[in-house]
Amino acid sequence: MITLEQVRKRAEADAKTYGYYLTPDADLLTAFLEGLKVNEDRYGYPLCPCRLASGKYEYDRDIICPCDYRDPDVAQYGACYCRLYVNKAVYESKNLPEVPERRPIEKQNRAYAPQTAKEATTEGTQEKPASATMAQQTGQFKKKLWYCKQCGYMVYREDPPYICPICKAKREMFAEIKSEVEFSG
């Protein structure tokens, strides 16, 4: 089990790496870090405490803290959706901005719909939920090799990151690396 102190240290170190600050609201900070600890103990990964978990790793991956949306949100609004990570101006002003949910609706649907689908259709079986099967069939959520056309940074994901963590290029700078080989994992 992870300790609250380890969760705090990891968040502080990560904020420093990216030039961010942790929220200036001390009560919020404590609540967030406790939320992260509870989620890590429960799910095995530090799921965002401000969002609803599906409990399935492959559907929750994008909202594991630091989530996929943190960097574009801090760049655009000065804070992430939870206001756990903020930039210097927000940290000093202590005015936490409203940050709209950037998570695409199809990822939200994928995360929460299958539960119902499963309960309704696969009662007593071990089949996969309908929507996941469909996504696999259509290849919509298949992992691919991507690279940043500016710096060459490579990732293996369903879709490219919003901002290149190495050179800060925009998502549009990512392209798929194609080959005749199938990759899995």
Task: Provide the binding-site residues for its own copies, judged by CB under 8 A.
Answer: 6, 9-10, 12-19, 45, 57, 61, 64, 66, 68, 74-76, 87, 143, 145-147, 149-157, 161, 165-169, 173, 175-185
Residue corresponding to tokens 């690279």 = 147
- Cβ proximity to its own copies, 52 vs 75, nearer residue: 75
Q: Contact, 160 vs 145, CB < 8 A?
A: no
Token reading at 175: 């392209």
- Cβ proximity to its own copies, 13 vs 105, nearer residue: 13
Q: In angstroms, what is the minimal distance from the CB of 117 to its own copies? A: 24
Residue 176: helix, strand or coil by DSSP? strand
Distance (Å, rounded) from C-alpha 2 to C-alpha 16? 21
Q: In angstroms, what is the minimal distance from the CB of 167 to its own copies? A: 6
Q: Which amino acid is at 61?
A: R
- Cβ proximity to its own copies, 7 vs 96, nearer residue: 7
Sign of CA dihedral 76, 80, 82, 86: negative
Q: In angstroms, what is the minimal distance from the CB of 24 to its own copies? A: 17
Q: In angstroms, what is the minimal distance from the CB of 116 to its own copies? A: 25
Q: Contact, 46 vs 40, CB < 8 A?
A: yes
- CA-CA-CA-CA torsion for 148, 152, 156, 157, nearest 10 degrees? -10
- Cβ proximity to its own copies, 75 vs 120, nearer residue: 75
